[in-house]
Structure 1
Amino acid sequence: MIKVDKLSYSFPQKNLYNKISFTIEEGQHCAFIGVSGSGKSTLADIFMDPESYMFDGKLDIDPHCRIGYVSQFAQIDSADEMTVFQYIGDECIKLQSELSSICSEMETSSDIEPLLEKYQETLDAFDAIGGDSFESIIEKKLNTANLTKHRNLKISELSGGEFKLVQVIKEMLNSPDLMIMDEPDVFLDFENLNSLKNLINSHKGALLVITHNRYLLNHCFNKILHLENMELQEFDGRYIDYNFSLLENKIELQELAHGDTEELARNEALIDRLRTEATEIIDASRGRTLKARVRLHERLEARRIKAPFVYIKQPNIRLNTDNKVEETVALKVENHSVAFDETLLDNISFEINSGDKVALIGANGTGKTTLLRDIFENSCDSISFGENIETACLSQLKNETLIESNTVMEEFFDFGFKSSEDIISCLSEHALEEELVSQKISSLSGGEKNMIQLAKLSSSNANMLLLDEPTSHLDTYSQIALEEAISNYNGAVLMVSHDFYSIINCMDYVLIIEDKNIRKMSMRKFRKMIYDNHFDKNYLELEQKKKELETRVALALKDNDFELARTVCEELEPLIKIF
């Protein structure tokens, strides 16, 4: 369906791909992975509209290939007054109406030939998207996504997560030959994540899904496309097997590459010494020795082992811990309500102490983000902060905390940075490239925008953080770094999240929204709820252990400790077989 051959593409300030090649074939479910900002979304855009991009190499797309697309940003548009059924079936409903209109025209027209031709064209389009059975297909998809009860709700009444699932169903109904989804899992609650998994696995056509979500990666795909450092690897098989083979290969290659680097360094030192001696002592034999050593160095460079494919860019997120306050009530919410067309939260009350790290959870659409925004704005008598409490916020709606028209440099200067050197240093700490400074915020990936927000938080003096889905769009290593930073932070944290691992790794307890109310839940009870209602306990515990071991391998390789990396990899292999 799609063949990419030696494709290269660059932005003005950034090279994205260097002669990458791969194929996507009929029926394949491909996961497209790589660190934030590596160019995954851009490649999807190139597939959607290749004529708008000046790239080198070849991109062959079957001329009959119809491509569907679901954006990473769930924007509810002018269709918000449609019902869910009308929105999903919009194309079929329009074609059905058009067929009826043509039939009515034919009853009174004296020139029926052009109408017959128009009718056949419309009927072919209707049949191409399964028009005869579109109602039953919609019902089946809604049932798969556990959204049957939402059939007659207006689009405007859906939460962001529910709307994302409806977008997925709408694109699937159009029966594209290839369906591209850009981080469709972002902001989905535990139940909706399972629904997305079921939708992906029920889809018969080809899929290209950009995701960092390990749960989906482990359960949904039979091909992996991995973009890293301008290069791409493709792997036919499960993500679990790919990831393990990648680690094994990385250990071997990095050890060989490290050996070559050391040998080259020794040879360079010897050449430098010979050059110094040659300038001090006129001796033909020394000159011949130097030339021979230089030729040897050139041969060593030519045959050196290339560094392993994966380059670990783990940011060094350090949340400011200087503004610690004595143990006190940091936040008090008393008899607070949240309402739009209907009441979401009814007279809720809770307190958070100055050292508490608290996860705020609940189904999509229960008012978590709105509550967090109310707390940050602090414009209600029902919300109050303790003395000397300073807050900072990370928003899932990036335009609330970032000015899209700013360059990255302007954004940091506006925040209070005094020099470009300080800004570049801060970006580097957060695994962001220096060339980003001249790019517009609007041009950054979702992960890069989140990391910019985290970089600003790290430079603030806040002793209470309000975090709305902070791990969204972040790659695995950035998620791990953020979990460590939160664990080491000595202020209060209130974090909206649907990331099971982030919650259990760095939160003290949970506040759960249910039935328009809020109640405190211990981590033990939270785990039990997740195991009982959403994910298999054995899977989650295995995945957590697997993730810990993979991280240990990665960190051992970062220190070039190959013996430790191999030992940990041997511990990991039995877990892979259990999966």
Structure 2
Amino acid sequence: MLLLQTNDVTRRFGADVLFHNMNLQIQEHGRTALVGRNGAGKTTFLKMIAGITEPDEGTITKAKDLTIGYLAQDQGLDSQNSIWSELDTVFTPLHKMEKQIHDLEQQLGELDSSSEHYQQILASYDTLQTSFKKQGGYEYASRMRGILHGFGFDEDTYDTPINSLSGGQKTKLALAKILLQAPGLLILDEPTNHLDMNILAWLEDYLKSYQGALLIVSHDRYFLDRVVNDVYDLDNKTLTHYTGNYTQFVQHKQERLQAEWKHYDQQQKKIAKLEDFVNRNIVRASTTKRAQARRKQLEKMERLDRPETDDKSIHFHFHADKASGNEVLDVEQAKVGYHEQVLAGPLSFTVRKPQRIGIVGPNGIGKSTLLKSILHKIPLISGTIKMGANLEIGYYDQEQQQLHPHKTVLEEVWDDHPEVPEKDIRSLLGSFLFVGDDVYKVVHELSGGEKARLELTKLSFKSINFLILDEPTNHLDIDSREVLESAINEFDGTVLFISHDRYFINQVATDILAMQQNGIKHYEGDYDDYLAAKDKENPTIVENANTNKGAAGKQSYQQNKEQQRARRKIQRQVDSLEKEMADLENQQSAVQEQMSQPEIATDIGKLTDLQKQLDALAAKAEEVELAWTEAAEKLEDFDQQN
């Protein structure tokens, strides 16, 4: 059943079009993601679907009686109530019904059971009780406790006034409240902000079993992979629909763009040949009819548009002027905290070149404090920290406190490197998408994403052989996260980082440090390897999965991961062969161009040599094309089987 549909929706800002021809469908029980770059208009579109704003053009149709719940990004509860009483307001209709039931019970106790009025009251009582039970009247308290527990609120916090909580806790409660409301269509804009990994795993399982439909905007690719099976890509100011989770969407989009470019290039070559024939033969009496036929063919041809995408992306790399020693960092029996108040410890671990170590653990455990203690920004309460030789440290601060709020973007970088010409500084800033007048923006006026890009700009300019990163993917869109992943993977130095982005951890980590209040434990591998190791340690507990799925769910996930790796390997082979085919075609064209030159056309010796060269290239091209055909068929068979 179709719950909601947008038809050719458009949003304008003056003469500028933010997006147009937006066509989206939400099916009953749908699990849909909306993805796209920061600034593409995702939140604007969600507000239209939620009925908060209206489109400039187009229509949005909804199923009769569809209830919609919309949770904006970082939207927190603002209430004088306690945690329990505020969430309990969701069930006000049930409380009214409950009071009616008690009133009827009192009346029944006062009436003669043989009277007609008693029977009428009893019938009303039975009807009301049935309705009360059907609407969850006997379950709402356990539902509230279950959701509060899932979001990390223990029973001893239920009486806490909401206005005394942190911003992150208020955001979690806003999400808890809307989940309790259980609308037919639940719209979530970045719901994973402020959630640690255990809560994320719980939320994923909760949403997978949610009875209504979901429409989600999130930069958490791991979350999207586990929750959604439908993706709408807001790219080039319009929507394209893909079936599958996020990883499948990335594959399908790449394949679609490759196919579109291939067809476009083929048509362009055909057009060029036809136009060349017409130009050379239209004035010759013997060939003019054929040229006219080719011209008509060109006129009737439906020309393909040049494939386009929002391809603006940051591009950079980290570099080191000198290598560090093998022993980068030794932490022994360290206790971290503030003013003798211990957050965590004792902590003991080592970092060696060229490890890329991710630190994971609950929010508030002291992970950021640990990094600041390593950097001597906060003193250890006890224990020792030993740094290696020849270290050049680069630090990314998630709180962005290293930026000067009253400097411009240009000054923030140039003041650190006054010897560098302005054009070189501006060129570097351009690679992080600070172009034109953007370089004169004042830091305190920048968005979180812009500040993140500015911090990365400064890091890329420095000579670094040891990167220390505190939540580096916060505020970055998905494309920027992928560029950061590539930069880290190409970096020759050592990396120690904190992240809640499980997809990011899987892409870059060689080791995991799991931090708890009483210690820290080392695991080899990425995040999935860490989960597998945890499962072996606790065979009765399957983290990130419902207990009834057991090890089979984990095995299925691992099998899917292996399948994705196998497919990427075949895809790389296909891409490589396509590139080789294009190179050989260009070489053949170059030889043919040489053969057509007047000074060579009359030289039999040179013509013979060039013909041999052309024949060899043609034979090689045929061989490569055969290999490409086999690889492409193998890829097609793989997709059909999986």
Q: TM-score, normalised by structure 1?
A: 0.72
Preserved CA contact (<8 Å) 1:329 1:352: yes
1:152 corresponding residue in structure 2? 157
2:152 counterpart of 1:176: no
Q: Matched residue of 1:18: which SS?
A: strand
Among residues 537, 540, 544, which one is paired with 2:558 in the alignment? 540
Deviation for aligned residue 1:257: 1.2
* CA–CA distance in structure 2, aligned partners of residues 337 and 80 of structure 1: 35
2:543 is matched by which residue type in structure 1?
H
Question: Which string of whole-angstrom CA distances, capped at 9 and with x for unpartnered residues, describes residues 424-479 of structure 1?
Answer: 64466457887966888789887666445433322233333222233456566544
Matches within 5 A, 1:226-265: 226-235=233-242, 246=253, 248-264=255-271
Amino acid at match of 2:69: G
Which shows bigger deviation, 484-493 or 531-540? Answer: 531-540
The equivalent of 1:123 in structure 2 is none
Deviations 1:220-272 (A, max 9, x none): 3353322112121235666677666555544433211121234456678899x
1:26-59 superposed Cα distances (whole Å, 9 cap, x missing partner): 54322112345433233224445654x7734334
- Distance, in Å, in 1 between the alignment partners of 2:570 and 2:428 is 26
Stretch of structure 1 that moved more, 226-235 or 368-377: 368-377
Q: Determine which structure has more spread, i.e. the larger CA radius of gyration.
A: 2
Q: Residues 36 and 448 of structure 1 are in contact (CA less than 8 Å); yes or no, is this contact kept in structure 2?
A: no
Farther-moved stretch of structure 1 (214-223 vs 558-567): 558-567
SS at match of 1:303: coil
CA distance 1:263–1:419, change in 2 (3 Å)? farther
- Structure 2 equivalent of residue 317 of structure 1: 316
CA contact (8 A) 1:338 1:346 kept: no
Aligned to 1:457: 459
Residues 410-433 of structure 1: per-residue CA shift (max 9 Å, x gap): 765677697785566446645788
1:526 lines up with 2:530 in the alignment: yes
CA distance in 1, matches of 2:632, 2:452: 31
Equivalence map 1:28-427=2 (5 Å): 28-48=30-50, 50-51=52-53, 55-60=56-61, 66-73=67-74, 82-83=82-83, 85-92=84-91, 134-142=140-148, 145=150, 147=152, 149=154, 152=157, 154=160, 166-186=173-193, 188-235=195-242, 246=253, 248-264=255-271, 299=299, 303-307=302-306, 315-330=314-329, 335-338=334-337, 343-353=342-352, 355-376=354-375, 378-380=377-379, 385=387, 389-397=391-399, 399-400=400-401, 422=424, 425-426=427-428
Matched, 1:492 2:494: yes
Structure 1 range deviating more: 500-509 or 17-26: 500-509
* Structure 1 pair 573–534 and aligned structure 2 pair: CA distance change class (3 A): farther
Shift of 1:16: 3.3
Compared CA separation, residues 421 and 70, structure 1 to 2 (3 A): farther
Higher relative contact order (CA 8 A, sep 6+): 1
| Contact 1:339–1:345 (Cα < 8 Å) also in 2 | no
Could you list the runs of 5+ residues in structure 1 that have no partner in the other structure? 104-125
3-state SS of paired residue (2:178): helix
Give the secondary-structure state (helix, strand or coil) at the position aligned to 1:363. coil
Q: CA deviation at 1:171?
A: 0.8
How many pairs align? 541
In structure 2, do the counterparts of structure 1 residues 61 and 448 end up closer, same or farther at CA, with 3 Å as the change threshold?
farther
> Once structures 1 and 2 are overlaid, which stretch shifts more, 427-436 or 479-488?
427-436
1:284: Cα distance to partner? 11
Query: Secondary structure of the residue that 1:89 maps to in structure 2?
Result: helix
1:483-528, Cα deviation, whole Å (9 max, x unpaired) = 3321322333111124455445433433221243223333397363
Counterpart CA distance in 2 for 1:558 and 1:142 is 51
| Deviation of 1:578 (Å) | 6.9
Whole-angstrom CA distance in 1 between matches of 2:411 and 2:569: 35
Q: Deviations over 1:533-555 (max 9, x none)?
A: 43514413532551674487489
- In the TM superposition, what is the alpha-carbon distance from 1:208 to its structure 2 partner? 0.8
From the superposition, tell whether residues 179 and 527 of structure 1 become closer, same or farther in structure 2 (CA, over 3 Å): closer
Other structure's SS at 2:157 match: coil
RMSD over aligned Cα atoms: 5.3
Q: SS of 2:458's equivalent?
A: helix
Q: Cα offset for 1:167?
A: 3.5
CA distance in 2, matches of 1:451, 1:380: 29
Give the aligned residue type for 1:516: N
Moved more, 430-439 or 211-220: 430-439
State the one-letter code of the partner of 1:305.
Answer: L
2:7 to 5, 16, 29: 5
Partners of 1:407 and 1:440 within 8 A in 2: yes
Give the Cα–Cα distance (whole angstroms) in 1 for the partners of residues 442 and 322 of structure 2.
32
Structure 2 gaps of 5+ residues are 103-131, 537-541, 545-553, 582-624
Check whether the contact 2:42–2:234 (CA below 8 A) recurs between aligned residues.
yes
Q: Is the 8 A contact 1:4 1:60 kept in 2?
A: yes
Counterpart of 2:122?
none
Does the residue aligned with 1:487 lie in a helix, a strand or coil? helix
Distance of 2:412 and 2:13 partners within structure 1: 21
- The percentage of counterpart residues that share the same residue type is 24
